[in-house]
Structure 1
């Protein structure tokens, strides 16, 4: 009887600890009015920035290579090797932190184009940005969280 109670008690304590940690994290994520901080590492330098949650669990896709070199709605030339994005409503030049909640990888992109014009999709990323955060390289879309980077 003692051999059975100890593992069950240990499992109960573990589940309680994990659930309390998860609920604390959920409270932080639900507070969308606050401005949070993060660190971006570019080469060997670290840049601190603040961000405000914008949307959670939205559909993201990436540009096809055939759009390389074409002019975007902002007038800039599109390059699939840079960290850029297209959004329907956000102003050009807005910096966004795009996070894949599955593997918790994130990337900072700049809005330079309008789109996507497919129903259900919120944002189009450059191929470089998409592949950096993607957990399934064979798919052309993922669900992401979008945060607006504050200056």
Structure 2
């Protein structure tokens, strides 16, 4: 399998494992034309004001590059994806999730008789209140 496709498949497995642990249901889109790869939804009433069946939408990205500078992740996101994820006029909150994996594919997962471990780390951010990019940021 192409290494980029392996990253895509691994990022789905990673976030789906996290969602299953949190008790969230997931839905996947067949066509990614709105920069959304996956949706997570909780059942029932949750949070202040007792909101029912909350949902979020997520754009998934995966990289083996060293993108961390201090406490900031500098992920190169296409302007189309940025624009699709930002703004507060969308009904369902949207997030960008970036999974950082080791360069060596053999270090992505560890499996033995009593557990499985997925490496390395997944970070997410809402771009809801971010504005237009300046030409120098493109």
- TM-score when normalising by structure 2: 0.26
Report 1 or 2 for greater relative contact order, CA contacts < 8 Å, sequence distance ≥ 6. 1
- The structure in which a higher percent of residues are strand is 1
TM-score of the aligned structures, taking structure 1 as reference length: 0.25
